[in-house]
Amino acid sequence: MGDNPASERDYKKEYAAFKANPQNMKDHSARVKARREMVKKYGEAALRGKDIDHIRPLRGPGTPNSPGNWRISSVGDNRDWRKGKKGYD
């Protein structure tokens, strides 16, 4: 890979592979729904720069997409937890 690994990624292929899996699309819809519901409750301004996080991952068995499983977290906290963990490098 070169200096910029992102320049060598085939995003179109990745997106097509993501959309090909019905479970991915279902999980994506659940995430969008969670965000939309939290915006209704708190307002867009309060959530600017924040992520809506699922406490228990959507892929877990019997994991609900209910407000009890949502939390507001900073973008850094939600997206940074994988760094340094095996399988996410």
58 domain-assigned = yes
Using CA atoms, how far apart are residues 13 and 20, in angstroms rounded to an integer?
11
Domain ranges, residue 45? 12-80
26 domain-assigned = yes
73 domain-assigned = yes
Which residue, chain included where needed, has tokens 């085939």?
A: 10
89 domain-assigned = no
**Cβ atoms within 10 Å, residue 31:** 16
The backbone region for 87, taken as left when phi is positive above 0, alpha when psi lies in -120 to 50, beta otherwise, is left
63 domain-assigned = yes
Overall number of domains in the chain:
1
Which residue, chain included where needed, has tokens 């399988």?
A: 87
Instruction: Supply the pTM of this predicted model.
Output: 0.71
7 domain-assigned = no
87 domain-assigned = no
86 domain-assigned = no
pLDDT category of residue 7 using cuts at 50, 70 and 90: low
Which tens digits make up the pLDDT trace of 18-48? 999 998 898 899 999 999 999 999 999 999 9
